[in-house]
Amino acid sequence: MFSFDKDLWHVGRTMQEPRQETPPTPHTNRSESPTSAVGADVPRELPNELSAPYEVPQFPIEQIEKKLLIQRQLNVKAAECGQSVRSFGGSEAGAMTFEEAVRLRGEEDEPEVVLPHFQRVSISGEDTSGVPLEDLQLASSYLVQALEIRKRYMAMSNQSFENITDRFLRSMDAEAMANHTPHKVPKTNIADHDVHPPYTKDRDPWECPMPAPKGWTIKPDKGVFNCYTTVDGKETRVPFQYVTLAEYIQDKYTMCNMIADGPLKSFCYRRLSYLSSKFQLHVLLNELRELASQKAVPHRDFYNIRKVDTHIHAASCMNQKHLLRFIKKTLKTHADEVVTLHKGSPMTLKAVFQSMNLSTYDLTVDMLDVHADRNTFHRFDKFNAKYNPIGESRLREVFLKTDNYMNGKYFARIINEVAADLEESKYQNAELRLSIYGKSPGEWAKLAKWAIQYDVHSDNVRWLIQIPRLYDIFKSNKIMNNFQEFLSNIFTPLFEVTNDPNSNIELHKFLTHVVGFDSVDDESKPENPMLDPDVKSPEEWDDEDNPPYAYYLYYMYANMTVLNHARKEQGLNTFVLRPHCGEAGPVQHLVCGFMLAENISHGLLLRKVPVLQYLYIACGEFSRKLHNFLKYRAKMGKHFGELAKIRGIISYKLSPHEQRAYAGAISNGLPNIFRRFRESVLKVAPPFIIAYLVYEGVEREHHRLSRKNPADFANDQ
């Protein structure tokens, strides 16, 4: 595995002093190898500022590879000039060749790095696509149109769009290319590098700027909140742009027609197959070079690169043993503490366990019964039941809820323990998902108070807010009258605190640690995946039926877009949309995710849609933007390796991510339900994890696997 911060070859640093010229050494008759001859021309090795602020010795393999790189460049230069390699003979030629190699990089790449030399595979000839020319032209126009749609939606919502794809789209427009000025941020020292988390031990972690109130009036207009200013008694809407529902429906129909187009499907399928084969050739030709470049990175290996778990639910962020140990410890030390109400009467923690005829001695991991097995495959009802320890919702309410009789006291403690483990490991970070249900507008205030009151904070943790699609349940229980109330309960508090941070200081502080929103629920529920232009507005949606996935996602996106504009004007952090998408249900969900979301979770159904496969790959590498401590360049991607979905929805061998070059990340998802080990999936050796997943055997096989070394798996059938 390559480290994301150090996987490129560093040629020079702009902040270094110019290298002083040394007088040439007298010529001797000692025979030299080509690499040693070139070694005299290699510029002086520079200290590795990105991994450590001190001088470190360079690895011999790095020196050898750099010498070979210069030698190859000299050979190319000599061939072009009709001269031999020995005619170059001086350090100026080597330096000049290095400068030429650096100039060959893209216009927006960092000036300090150059890729290592690999053997390249090229296909010659007029037609390399394998489809007729007219089909190729049509497919190309469709793909560019789809990428332009996504680019427009991302720009309007202050979400990021992949740089390489953006550069390609600009090259199609001469005027846009001429007017574009790349934005470069110089890195002058280690503190400026964006992978080093801030040090907050000596300051208040909840300290944040407090902008002045804007005095806006916040009102919804057909489901989308808008900000209004009042001048001389007349209200004027603040011009925060967002995509209207009619535009969204039209673009969605356009995208759905694309994925059903025959010539486009043929082109994308053939192109994906071609790229897969080309990658296999690259592996055969350059595996040793990649390994050499990986080993040449000083002070970095799989265990000490910074890893981020971007998909992990807070209620299951601990493993089974950790949860069991915490419950036993709490039952021993706080047995007489009142934790809940039963039929209006207070119950202590001891009384809760006595009502279930349990004691600390009786509790085991197997009795918790929170581990998923083959019986949960395609059974979302059984899957959700695994959230309840011992099958009791009361224990989940006591230990794994923020809004309970004790205001989430125990939940805060166990999350702080998980955060302490992350801090101890130093290189592991997590984005924990907390739930806002939309039942009442006071949920945000309670969640923020819980975080501030119990100081649930860590430099290695950020929050993602997941919003379950449960309007139909609230409606059937007469909690709300229409879908607009659901949206108001979610977004009104956010707009109010953005307008005036002093209206709820705790919520304002909490939002500085929130990175985005997620939409969760069972995607396989029956629905109409397409929206009609005359679909009901949220004020009119008073049916007991749940709105479609596309309807939910649009109103989350549109309101988040306006909210991001308002927060950007206030100088506050903005949010991204990262929904669960494409794990089940219709493939049109993936169209919604491509248009509206910066990133998605899962995308397992991509194996059925070659066009979307190609578009998701075209939208670049995967990364996440963890505000304030790990600022990646965020691009379209998926975290596809979640144990939950490999074990719960699709077999590993059928996963599309095993077959295509998607940019993505492995994530835990639900460690309490799917993990038996204290170590994160980001820490355990990959051979062990994959073997554990593919085995899909009974419990005794899992126990047998736990006793084996990863190297021993080669002997298993």
Three-state SS for 163-221 is HHHHHHHHHCCHHHHHHCCCCCCCCCCHHHCCCCCCCCCCCCCCCCCCCCCCCCEEEEE
498 to each of 215, 484, 492, how far by Cα in Å?
Answer: 10, 20, 10
CA distance 322 to 140: 52
- Whether 279 contacts 661, CB under 8 Å: yes
Q: Is 343 left (phi over 0), alpha (psi -120 to 50) or beta?
A: left
Active site residues: 602
Grouping H, G, I as helix, E, B as strand and the rest as coil, residue 529 is coil
- Strands (E) across 489-626 are located at 514-520, 576-577, 580-581, 600-602, 623-626
Grouping H, G, I as helix, E, B as strand and the rest as coil, residue 427 is coil
Considering only CA atoms, give the Rg of the chain. 28
Question: Order of strands, edge to edge, in the sheet holding 234-237?
Answer: 217-221, 224-231, 234-237
Grouping H, G, I as helix, E, B as strand and the rest as coil, residue 353 is helix
- Whether 576 contacts 598, CB under 8 Å: yes
- Whether 304 contacts 1, CB under 8 Å: no
Residue with tokens 């929170």: 370
CA distance 616 to 150: 11
Instruction: Look at strands 217-221 and 224-231 and give their pairing.
Output: antiparallel
CA distance 436 to 443: 7
Ramachandran angles phi, psi of 637, nearest 5°: -170, -175
H-helix or E-strand spanning residue 273: helix 262-295
CA distance 530 to 547: 11
Grouping H, G, I as helix, E, B as strand and the rest as coil, residue 325 is helix
Residue with tokens 């108070």: 449
- Whether 304 contacts 140, CB under 8 Å: no
The sign of the CA dihedral 398, 403, 408, 414 is positive
CA distance 251 to 234: 35
As a whole number of Å, the end-to-end CA separation of the chain is: 26
Grouping H, G, I as helix, E, B as strand and the rest as coil, residue 93 is helix
- Whether 7 contacts 295, CB under 8 Å: no
